[in-house]
Amino acid sequence: MTATDPALTALAQGWCALSLLHGRIESHIERALQSRHDLSVREYSLLDVLSRQHAGEGGHLQMKQVADAVVLSQSATTRLVTRLEDRGLLERYLCPTDRRGIYTDVTEAGLTLLEEARPTNDTALREALDEAAKNPDLAPLVRVVETLKAPVPA
C-alpha cells in the first residue's frame, strides 16, 4: 500500500470524522457540566465509574482499572482522584485483604453531585449528537453511536 492508496485515505478520513465527533461531544458536555455543576467531563466520568462499584467479589476497582475506565494514565487518574478527594467527593481507604491496595469510594456529597449532574450530561450528549447528525460526514457515526449497547462486564 502507498500513502495515496484509496483504502488508507478512507481509513484516515473515517478516523478524522470519529475524532471530530468525539471532540465536539466532549466539548459540549464539558461546557454544560462546568457551567452548571463545576465538574469537568473527566471528573463526571470518574464519579460515574466509581459510583457503580459494589461490595461483592471484584466490586471495587484498582487504580489501573479506574484509569482504563476513564481513559487516563494512572498518574493523571491519581491526580484527578486527589482533586475530587480534596473537594470531599471521594474518599480513599486501604483494601481490607491487601494493605498495599488502595480503593476509592464516592462520598454522599459526590453521589449527590453526580445525580444532579447526570441529567445535564445526558441532555448535553443528546444535544451534541443531534447537532452532529446534521453534518453529512458525521451522521453515519451518530447513527452507530445511537445503536451501541453498553458492554457486558466479563
Label residue 42 by pLDDT band (50, 70, 90): very high
C-alpha–C-alpha distance, residues 35 and 151, integer Å: 30
Looking at the structure of the chain, the number of domains it has is 1
- Supply the CATH number for residue 63's domain: 1.10.10.10
pLDDT digits (tens, 9 = 90+) for 49-97: 999 987 777 778 888 889 999 999 999 999 999 999 999 999 998 877 7
* Within a domain: 152: no
CA 136 to chain centre: 26
* Within a domain: 72: yes
Mean pLDDT computed over every residue of the chain = 90
* Within a domain: 149: no
State pTM to two decimals: 0.86
* Within a domain: 43: yes
